[in-house]
Amino acid sequence: MIDGDAVAALRDERLDWRFQAVPAAAHGRTVGEYLAERPVLGDLGTPLLTLDASALDHNLALMARYADKAGVELAPHGKTTMAPQLWKAQLDAGAWGITLANLPQLRVARAFGVRRLLLANALLDPAGLAWIAAELDRDPAFEFLSWADSVRTAELMDAALRDAGASRPVDVCVELGARDGRTGARTLGEAEAVAAAIRAAPTLRLAGVAGYEGTLAHDASDAALDIVDGYLRRFAELFGRLSFEVDAPVASAGGSAYFDQVVDVLGGLPSARVLLRSGAYLIHDDGFYQGISPLARAEGERFRSAMHGWGRVVSRPERALALADAGKRDLPFDEGLPVPQLVRGRGAAPVENAHVSALADQHAFLRDADVAVGDIVRFGLSHPCTAMDKWQLVPVISSAGDPEPAVVDLVRTWF
């Protein structure tokens, strides 16, 4: 499902100034050589983003068990991490394939030999379609699935693939949307017309129905859950109306916020391969997903945040204000500001009543914290999708709760 040798070869990359998380003392060594020296968190500078190995392992196993028990499959959204090492872990844990959002991301996945790719988007670029056609011809084991939400989309795809001389048809899902949502056909009639256009195109094959419920609601209130439920029931109705050209048609929905409802509504569709595209579950967070994840709203095991930010207090210009050296260029802020959790070596007490009031490009404004210049603060973060994209190499530590966490891996990203 992924080229293990290509992933393993990442340990041979030499460390240098390109990777802001790596100390200068490690420059010139390969990743493997550096890890063999058994570095610890204290060897790394600030600002810093880390992943937590124990939480990653927990989340990986928990989601795999959930999908297996629910009778659905995972095609986790790889754009969350853009890290082939983490994709391999997900695939090794039983994921059906990897979901991506655009052509550059697809190229990264193919460079690492991922053989099942779902593009949660329409692909209309003629050069991109020619490349996909060539990849399908070159690798008989390669499976690719795209989306279309209009007749025009199907016509443009067909024309580009004909010009490219495609010999294998491209599998396409009809994308169903909803009013005030993102992309997707707005009515069942429009979606049926798209399906007919796909079936009529010799270079395309109608392979399922897809959509994204996450843009329709943004919390776990009863009203929000009802909106998602209504959309999914329309999705199921559309699926039942269509005649597909594959033996196991795909029904794909389910981000990281409402995948339980996807299971409840779509899990019983006859002959369907239900693919959840949850991307944030592996890293999770201490913010948005902590509050909205289905496993946070139910009894039983929960995901754990596997990411933390670290910043050093560099200024204390006022009694109630401290500035840490981690800002917008380092940590996510679109779904909530970082939350101070503890001071390394001093525990949670110095920041238990503190908060971050704002982020500048390179600074966090820390209010009401009992900290001194030189203290290192650990921050809880919200939204892994906008955390990983700031770092080309992310240290993985044994556990953020260890007194002196060991650096056990370095995760390479491609954004």
**363: Cβ contacts below 8 Å, ≥ 6 apart:** 314, 323, 324, 325, 326, 327
**Beta-strand (E) ranges in 305-380?**
307-318, 321-324, 339-343, 355-359, 364-367, 376-380
Per-residue confidence (pLDDT) for residue 212, from 0 to 100: 97
**What span, in angstroms and rounded, lies between the C-alpha atoms of 333 and 12?**
33
CB 327 within 8 A of CB 364: yes
DSSP state at residue 296: G
The domain defined by 4-52+303-412 carries CATH number 2.40.37.20: yes
Average pLDDT, integer, range 125-141: 98
CA neighbor of 411 nearest in space, from 21, 56, 53, 86: 86
Q: Kindly indicate whether the domain formed by 57-283 is annotated with CATH number 3.20.20.10.
A: yes
Region at 300 (left for phi over 0; alpha for psi -120 to 50; beta for the rest): left
- pLDDT interval class at 160 (50, 70, 90): very high
Residue length, the chain? 415
Strand partners, 145: 118, 171
Q: What is the pLDDT of residues 75-98, one digit of tens each?
A: 999 999 999 999 999 999 999 999
- Is the model's pLDDT at 354 over the cut of 90? yes
Q: Contact at 8 Å (CB) between 306 and 51?
A: yes
Strand partners, 311: 377
Model pLDDT, residue 199: 98
For the chain, what is the largest distance between any 2 Cα atoms, rounded to a whole number of angstroms? 71
312 in Cβ contact with 330 (< 8 Å): no
Q: What average pLDDT does the structure give for the chain?
A: 97
> Mean pLDDT, to the nearest integer, of 259-272?
95
pLDDT of 298 higher than 90: no
What pLDDT is recorded for position 236?
98
Domain boundaries of the chain, sorted by first residue:
4-52+303-412, 57-283
Task: Output the pLDDT for position 299.
Answer: 86
Average pLDDT over residues 304-311: 98
Q: What is the layout of strands, in order, in the sheet containing 98-100?
A: 73-74, 273-276, 250-253, 204-210, 170-175, 143-148, 116-119, 98-100
pLDDT at 234 over 90: yes
